Amino acid sequence: MISIRAISTLVFSITLAACTAEDKNKTIMETRAEVPAEPAGKVVKTDEEWKKLLTAEQYHILRESGTERANGEVYKEFKHQGEGTYHCAGCKALLFSSKEKFDSGCGWPSFYDPAKAENVILKKDVTMGMARTEVVCAKCGGHLGHVFSGEGYKTPTDQRYCINGGGLIYVPAKEQPAK
């Protein structure tokens, strides 16, 4: 006779396998084929409007200054993305590009400079018992991550913009026709 424990283990295993198989086909960082229209000015929405517009993860990152898990699926996806641009998931403003992307090994998407500096604001952040510099979208005020300087990376700026990939939209570069 099969025990209840054995049946429970079997059901749990099948459920877990089904969820894992489904997750492998799902992209974590939002990806779009076309470059989104940039906002002309500041984007102001109520909390309820943001909740309707964003996924739960995007809302947590952008509106609650949340942080995604280090070395998670977003980071793995980011490491395999080719040329393209990265836009704010909240307002679609251009923030970073693959030209400034580098692998810092920190577990989060890293850039050494913004693609469009006027769309990024740096703010002093003294949360979590340390002084850091927060990176915020200039158009909608969404939290993106933090920037660190003087860590010795061999980049043109010696800066590491440590960004939450879940708060970004990736747009792959279009292939140029052969001449």
Which residues does the annotation mark as catalytic?
Answer: 162
Residue showing tokens 């943001």: 50
